[in-house]
């Protein structure tokens, strides 16, 4: 076990624990999207979980750090909050905010983070850029909404690592990046028809089981 301080709290936790997981397990909320507990190599792609660690020159994503004994961590400095607000505002500038018509309404990671960081879901300062394709119905059991997707990769991770499937991948590049389907959805058990792990892992209802 190691002991570290996070803001005003002392935490005792197993050596080697991921710092983001350690904070969340101890009810210290750090905004996050792309990390799933148990990941060996977190992608650190959402750039939301920044914290300051004593002795480091710049904030670091907490999901990329293992706890160390006597570590001193701050999750709530002005610098950290500035980075988190910017990351979330950029995500929302390519997101179709239509909560009333969204199945994730009131159970949505973006809503939770916007409330926590005190920013509006619809920005007055940033232009909104949406993809042309509103929905992809190419999969027999799933529907995909590109303008809700935050490209966190959680669906790809659970499909590959937890279900031993390779049905999902990032497709295209840059602003056009989307989740693409490939392979035979019924090839290996569990078939996508009964699995649905990807849809359950999606924090924003971008991937849903077909009704």
Number of C-beta neighbours around residue 57 at 10 A: 7
Distance CA 47, CA 31 (A): 9
d(CA 79, CA 10): 22
Nearest to 16 by CA among 40, 49, 48: 40
Is residue 102 part of the contact set for ligand FES (CB under 6 A)?
Answer: no
Q: Where are the alpha helices (DSSP H) in the chain?
A: 19-25, 78-92, 109-117, 154-157, 192-195, 197-201
CB of 132 to ligand FES, least distance (A): 27
- Residue numbers of the site for ligand SF4 (CB under 6 A)? 95, 97-99, 102, 104-105, 108, 110-111, 121, 148-155, 179, 201-202, 204-207
Residue 32, contacted partner among ligand FES, ligand SF4, none, CB below 5-8 A by kind: ligand FES
Closest alpha carbon to 153 in 179, 131, 173: 179
List 36, 44, 155, 199, residue binding ligand FES (CB under 6 A): 44
Q: Which one among 5, 47, 76, 185 touches ligand FES, defined by CB under 6 A? A: 47
Contact partner, 94, from ligand FES, ligand SF4, none, Cβ < 5-8 Å per class:
none
Cα 81-82-83 angle, rounded to 5 deg: 90
Whichever of 53 and 202 has its CB closer to ligand SF4, that residue is 202
Give yes or no for residue 48 binding ligand FES (CB under 6 A). yes
Contact between 20 and 35 under an 8 Å Cβ cutoff? The reply is yes
Residues 55-84 that bind ligand FES (CB under 6 A): 61, 63
- Residue with Cβ nearer ligand FES (44 or 199): 44
Q: Is 17 in the site for ligand FES (CB under 6 A)?
A: no
As given in the structure block, the two tokens for residue 105 are 């309404």
In the 8-state DSSP scheme, what is residue 191? Answer: P
d(CA 30, CA 123): 22
Q: Choose one: 27-35, 51-59, 158-166, 173-181; the region binding ligand FES (CB under 6 A).
A: 27-35
Per partner kind, with CB cut-offs from 5 to 8 A, the member of ligand FES, ligand SF4, none near residue 204 is ligand SF4
Give the residues lining the site for ligand FES (CB under 6 A): 20, 32-35, 44, 46-49, 61, 63
């Amino acid at each position: 076990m190691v002991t570290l301080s996070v803001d005003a709290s002392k935490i005792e936790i197993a050596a080697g624990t991921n710092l983001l997981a350690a904070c969340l397990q101890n009810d210290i909320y750090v905004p996050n999207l792309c990390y799933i507990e148990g990941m060996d190599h977190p992608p650190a792609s959402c750039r939301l979980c920044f914290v300051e660690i004593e002795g480091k020159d710049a904030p670091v994503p907490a999901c990329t750090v293992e706890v160390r004994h006597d570590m001193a961590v701050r999750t709530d400095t002005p610098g950290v909050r500035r980075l988190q607000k910017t990351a979330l505002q950029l995500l929302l500038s390519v997101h179709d905010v239509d909560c009333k018509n969204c199945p994730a309404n009131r159970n949505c990671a973006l809503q939770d983070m916007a409330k926590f960081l005190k920013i509006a879901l619809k920005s007055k300062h940033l232009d909104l850029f949406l993809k042309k394709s509103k929905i992809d119905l190419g999969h027999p059991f799933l529907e995909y909404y590109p303008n809700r997707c935050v490209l966190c990769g959680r669906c790809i991770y659970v499909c590959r690592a937890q279900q031993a499937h390779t049905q999902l991948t990032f497709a295209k590049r840059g602003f056009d990046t989307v989740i693409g389907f490939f392979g035979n959805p019924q090839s290996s058990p569990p078939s996508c028809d009964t699995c649905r792990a990807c849809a359950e892992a999606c924090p924003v209802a971008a991937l849903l089981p077909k009704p």
